[in-house]
């Protein structure tokens, strides 16, 4: 579920006498796809003419994908449009083209990588730089590569909830032999945000109340300041009686995200079920009130 996605935008029909539909299919399957796969376990998706709402699918991929590779060879209008959409949403875009492609000034001011289908030696350097760019997108997802977002950073996401993710880590014990659970919250967006976090504990169907700690980060009383791209690691106390009980221990985590414009976005609550024998939390994709009708 945590697999990163690389979306390749490129022509899927003939663009010149040299570049027919068969050429683009082979270019993707035999050249780009294997090269991207060398960079890790990535889901590799190509822009193609699919049935249904094609435009909706393409825009969704442009928004969701961790990396976008745009092949600007032959200056296909659809590829340029998709590149513009992507660069209004988020960072993590690599632009490439075949040698001698006349790249417009609008996109040439950012790093362009040229490949050489008929020159194996020069193509080796492209392969090296291309893989380096893929790895940079994975390790530095908020490194600026869009003039649009540098100038108007909220153009593509002002109306959207900031992408804030969280997870609960396995139970551990302090030096005083007190059980605690780790907690990670991450702002994956390009803008700062705040988060109000509440965690409720349940044994079986009985609510044990909000998690309270010395500093009430988990009872909704103190906001978390989340800078762009930041990840915070915290922890909160559990009661030993909860862990010793034969009843199932669940935590319901609810997060309200406050964006850069001070608007609140309430994320749907989800539950974490503690698996005792393996000491990990199983994520339940719903609130406890909806879940309790199906489990004891």
Dump pLDDT digits (tens) for 226-243.
988 889 999 999 999 999
120 inside domain: yes
Do residues 207 and 268 both lie within one domain? yes
Q: What's the structural domain count of the chain?
A: 2
The pTM of this model reads 0.54
104 touches 45 (CB < 8 A): no
Mean pLDDT, residues 102-126 taken together: 86
Domain that holds residue 98: 4-151
Confidence at residue 49, expressed as pLDDT on a 0 to 100 scale: 59
Dump pLDDT digits (tens) for 45-54.
997 655 556 7
Dump pLDDT digits (tens) for 204-226.
999 999 998 888 999 999 999 99
Do residues 172 and 210 both lie within one domain? yes
The domain boundary residue, chosen from 85, 118, 151: 151
Alpha helices in 2-88 (DSSP H): 21-26, 33-37, 54-64, 77-86
Do residues 219 and 283 both lie within one domain? yes
Do residues 180 and 270 both lie within one domain? yes
Do residues 57 and 86 both lie within one domain? yes
Do residues 207 and 263 both lie within one domain? yes
pLDDT band per the 50, 70, 90 thresholds, residue 1: very low
**Residue 66 DSSP class:** S
Do residues 184 and 286 both lie within one domain? yes
Do residues 119 and 215 both lie within one domain? no
Q: Look up the CATH number of the domain holding residue 215.
A: 2.60.40.10
When mean pLDDT is compared across 20-24, 57-61, 160-164, 209-213, the lowest value belongs to 160-164
Do residues 133 and 223 both lie within one domain? no
234 inside domain: yes
């Amino acid at each position: 579920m945590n697999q990163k996605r690389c979306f390749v935008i490129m022509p899927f029909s003939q663009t010149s006498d040299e570049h027919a539909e068969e050429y683009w299919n082979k270019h993707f399957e035999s050249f780009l796809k294997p090269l991207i796969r060398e960079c890790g376990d990535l889901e590799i998706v190509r822009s193609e003419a699919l049935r249904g709402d094609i435009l909706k699918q393409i825009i969704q991929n442009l928004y969701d994908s961790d990396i976008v590779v745009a092949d600007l060879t032959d200056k296909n209008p659809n590829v340029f449009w998709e590149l513009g959409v992507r660069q209004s949403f988020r960072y993590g875009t690599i632009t490439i083209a075949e040698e001698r492609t006349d790249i417009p000034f609008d996109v040439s001011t950012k790093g362009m990588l040229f490949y050489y289908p008929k020159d194996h030696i020069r193509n080796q350097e492209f392969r090296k730089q291309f893989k380096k760019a893929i790895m940079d997108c994975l390790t530095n997802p908020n490194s600026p590569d869009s003039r649009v977002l540098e100038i108007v950073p909220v153009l593509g996401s002002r109306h959207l909830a900031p992408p804030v993710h969280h997870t609960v880590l396995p139970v551990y014990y302090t030096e005083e032999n007190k059980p605690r659970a780790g907690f990670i919250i991450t702002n994956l967006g390009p803008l700062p945000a705040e988060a109000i976090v509440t965690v409720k504990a349940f044994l079986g169907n009985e609510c044990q109340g909000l998690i309270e700690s010395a500093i009430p980060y988990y009872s909704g009383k103190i906001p978390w300041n989340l800078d762009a791209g930041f990840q915070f690691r915290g922890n909160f106390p559990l009661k030993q009686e909860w862990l010793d009980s034969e009843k199932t221990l669940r935590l319901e985590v609810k997060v309200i995200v406050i964006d850069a414009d001070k608007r609140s976005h309430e994320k749907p609550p989800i539950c974490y079920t503690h698996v005792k024998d393996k000491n990990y939390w199983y994520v339940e994709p719903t609130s406890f009130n909806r879940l309790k009708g199906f489990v004891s």
